[in-house]
């Protein structure tokens, strides 16, 4: 089972996006664990994740998340368009690759 961490500035929008990702995974019968956290709490969850998704608001902090992640753990920036439109299908596909 893949574990996906979604990080955003305050944790509010990431919770909504995480719910959309969970719904998309459920539609496809994909077993994943997806959780969201605010930027300042990411250090407590980063090493438990197989993939870290970062919202566009934290673009300038991307290297910080890469430092928090275990070596080899992908850290992916969600595009502005995918985040605005809550394109859970595309973002989930990217996270699972």
Q: Given this model, what pLDDT does residue 11 score?
A: 65
pLDDT band at 31 (very low <50, low <70, confident <90, very high): very high
Domain that holds residue 51: 2-96
For 33-76, how does the pLDDT look when each residue is reduced to its tens digit (9 = 90+)? 999 998 888 888 888 999 999 999 999 989 999 999 999 999 99
Residues facing 35 on adjacent strands: 5
Number of compact structural domains in the chain? 1
For 71-94, how does the pLDDT look when each residue is reduced to its tens digit (9 = 90+)? 999 999 999 999 999 999 999 999
We report the CATH number of the domain holding residue 54 as 3.40.50.2300
Identify which has the larger pLDDT, 27 or 10: 27
């Amino acid at each position: 089972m893949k574990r996906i961490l979604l990080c955003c500035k305050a944790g509010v929008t990431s919770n909504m996006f995480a719910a959309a990702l969970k719904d998309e995974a459920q539609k496809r019968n994909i077993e994943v664990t997806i959780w969201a956290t605010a930027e300042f709490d990411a250090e407590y969850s980063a090493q438990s994740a197989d993939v870290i998704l970062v919202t566009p608001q934290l673009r300038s902090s991307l290297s910080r998340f890469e430092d928090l992640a275990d070596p080899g753990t992908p850290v992916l920036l969600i595009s502005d368009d995918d985040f605005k439109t809550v394109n859970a299908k595309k973002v989930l596909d990217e996270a699972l690759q």
